[in-house]
Amino acid sequence: MDGDRKTTVAGFAGALVVLGLLFWVVGIDALLGHLSRARLPIVLAVVTMTFVWLSCWGMSLHTVLGALDSPVPAHTAILVFSSAVFSNAITPFGQAGGEPVAALLVSEAADSEYETGLAAIASVDTLHFVPSIGLATIGLGTFAVESVNLDQNLYFAAAAVGLLAAAFLGAALLGWRYRYEIERVVVGLLTPVIRRVSFVLPRIEPPDSNVIEDRIEGFFTAIDRVAGSRRTLLVASLYSTAGWLSLSTALWLSLFSLGHVVPFVATLVVVPVASIAAITPLPGGLGGIEAAFIALVVSTTGLSASVAGAGVVIYRLSTYWLTLLIGGSTAAILGERYRSS
């Protein structure tokens, strides 16, 4: 635990250095000047849209858990999702780093097996890809139709969206076509690893190979159940789309609070594409995401870097730092329940 704590502190220290350099390049005095003129009622609207986003994606988790016969009340699903956002926000590589912890929180809240929680959070994260790619494509298509000159950053955004779409579609098709073969490979690879780890850890009895196989098969079975329910996929995807639109609206309002009205389609491009920077090896992509947001806001709207930076600060204060506080409190409560059970 001490090592994990030190790693987290070091990660945030590195992220703050990156943020400091970024804002120095943008111009700290100009950025602070724009922030001082932000209209508070509109900033509060940004906060409201943040809660709408958390609620929508929490309802997506609620829908998936219902399909897995591990239902939880809607408000519980929203709080659990907030704690999952917290775990992703404090670990490197975004969802890839935070999903194991998020799965534990989900399984605890739903009183289900760990593999069910992992399947639920993995399914929700996967479902978020489709509407994000779709909305970004709509935004880029609108720019193309309006004959907007694409600069280097927008070309990069278009390429990133295309690669994401191709990779997601290819992985989905191959994963479904060879799902049973993949299951057998995963069982074969993980079983000896888990048993070796269990032998090393004190006071933990090494699980039987059949138990490990049943657990891994349970995960794949849960994934199959979600993928096989059209209603679940449709409803969860609609909630996911509403969440992305809420995030885009939050960014639009952040810039509007500074007195700048930008095309809404620009935010449809910026939010999903810039969020790819969460895969950087910093807590929740902190620093990298801000840089990507500023570069893309400048490219899509023509605003100055200092205005874009101020808008991104308002946006991230609400969608990252506020959710960090909310999700951290929820995660602490769920974690205490898990330790005492």
| Whole-number pLDDT of residue 142 | 80
User: How big is the chain, counted in residues?
Assistant: 341
Q: In this structure, is residue 203 part of a structural domain? A: no
Which amino acid is located at 202 in the chain?
Answer: P
Per-residue pLDDT of the chain (341 residues; tens, 9 = 90+): 444 566 667 778 888 888 889 889 899 999 999 999 999 999 999 999 999 999 999 999 999 999 888 888 999 899 889 988 888 888 766 555 567 777 778 888 888 887 888 888 888 888 888 888 888 888 877 877 765 555 556 666 666 666 766 665 666 666 666 666 666 666 565 556 555 544 444 444 555 556 656 666 666 677 777 877 889 999 999 999 999 999 999 999 999 999 999 999 999 989 988 887 777 777 777 888 899 899 889 888 889 999 999 999 999 999 999 998 988 888 777 666 656 65
Q: In this structure, is residue 33 part of a structural domain? A: yes
| Whole-number pLDDT of residue 64 | 93
Which amino acid is located at 8 in the chain?
Answer: T
Cα dihedral angle (40, 46, 47, 52), rounded to 10 degrees?
150
Q: In this structure, is residue 44 part of a structural domain? A: yes
Structural domain tally of the chain? Answer: 1
**Residue 25 structure tokens:** 């390049």
Q: In this structure, is residue 127 part of a structural domain? A: yes
What residues make up the domain containing 158? Answer: 1-174+230-340
Q: In this structure, is residue 210 part of a structural domain? A: no
Q: In this structure, is residue 223 part of a structural domain? A: no
Q: In this structure, is residue 89 part of a structural domain? A: yes
Q: In this structure, is residue 152 part of a structural domain? A: yes
| Whole-number pLDDT of residue 184 | 64
| Whole-number pLDDT of residue 191 | 57
Helices (H) and strands (E) in the chain, counts: 15, 0
User: What does the DSSP 8-state code read for residue 127?
Assistant: H
Q: What is the pTM of this model?
A: 0.84
Distance of CA 240 to the CA centre of its chain: 11
**116 φ, ψ (degrees, to nearest 5):** -70, -40
| Whole-number pLDDT of residue 165 | 64
